[in-house]
C-alpha cells in the first residue's frame, strides 16, 4: 500500500508570511498532483509534476518534485487571505496504477 504523509496538518499564519507544505512517501510515483479544496466542493487541480527535480511556479505558488519522485513541496510566498483552504497532494502511477493516493491534507488559514 502506498502512503503519502502530508505536513503540517494545520497551519495558521498572518498575511504576508511565507509557508511550505510537505508531501513525503517511501514509494515512487510517476506523477504528483496538488489540489485545493474548498468546503462543499471537489478538489481543484493546481499543478501536476512529472519529472524528478521539476519545479513549477504558479504566481506566488512554487511546486517541487523530489529527485527520486517520492516527495514534493508547495511553497507559498506572501500568503494572502484568499489562499485559505485545504491543500491536498496526490500521487499517481508506480505500484498504484492510475488511481490517486492522497495525502491527509493541509488546512491553511491566512489571517488578515
Partner 1 sequence: NAGVMQNPRHLVRRRGQEARLRCSPMKGHSHVYWYRQLPEEGLKFMVYLQKENIIDESGMPKERFSAEFPKEGPSILRIQQVVRGDSAAYFCASSRWVDQPQHFGDGTRLSIL
Residues lying near partner 1 in the complex (CB under 8 A) are found at: 30-31, 33, 35, 40-45, 48, 88, 90, 92-93, 97-105
Closest CB to partner 1 among residues 75, 107 = 107
Nearer to partner 1, 33 or 64 (CB): 33
CB of 45 to partner 1, least distance (A): 6
Name the residue nearer to partner 1 (CB basis): 43 or 85: 43
Least distance from partner 1 to the Cβ atom of residue 80, Å: 22
Instruction: Tell me how far apart the alpha carbons of residues 68 and 32 are, in angstroms, rounded to a whole number.
Output: 12
> 44 or 68, CB closer to partner 1?
44
- Minimum CB separation of residue 88 from partner 1 in Å reads 7
The Cβ of residue 11 has, within 10 Å, a number of other Cβ atoms equal to 18
Written as one string, the DSSP assignment of the chain is ----EEE-SEEEEETT--EEEEEE-SS--SEEEEEEE-TTS--EEEEEE-STT-EEEETTEEEEE-TTSSEEEEEESS--GGG-EEEEEEEESGGGTTSPEEP--EEEEEE-
Closest distance to partner 1 from the beta carbon of 69 (Å): 14
Amino acid at each position: 500500500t502506498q502512503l503519502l504523509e502530508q505536513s503540517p496538518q494545520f497551519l495558521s499564519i498572518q498575511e504576508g508570511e511565507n509557508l511550505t507544505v510537505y508531501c513525503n512517501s517511501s514509494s515512487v510515483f510517476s506523477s504528483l498532483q496538488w489540489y485545493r479544496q474548498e468546503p462543499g466542493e471537489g478538489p481543484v487541480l493546481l499543478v501536476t509534476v512529472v519529472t524528478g527535480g521539476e519545479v513549477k511556479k504558479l504566481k506566488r505558488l512554487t511546486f517541487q518534485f523530489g529527485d527520486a519522485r517520492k516527495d514534493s513541496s508547495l511553497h507559498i510566498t506572501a500568503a494572502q487571505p484568499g489562499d485559505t483552504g485545504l491543500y491536498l497532494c496526490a500521487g499517481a502511477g508506480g505500484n498504484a496504477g492510475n488511481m490517486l493516493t492522497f495525502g491527509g491534507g493541509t488546512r491553511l488559514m491566512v489571517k488578515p
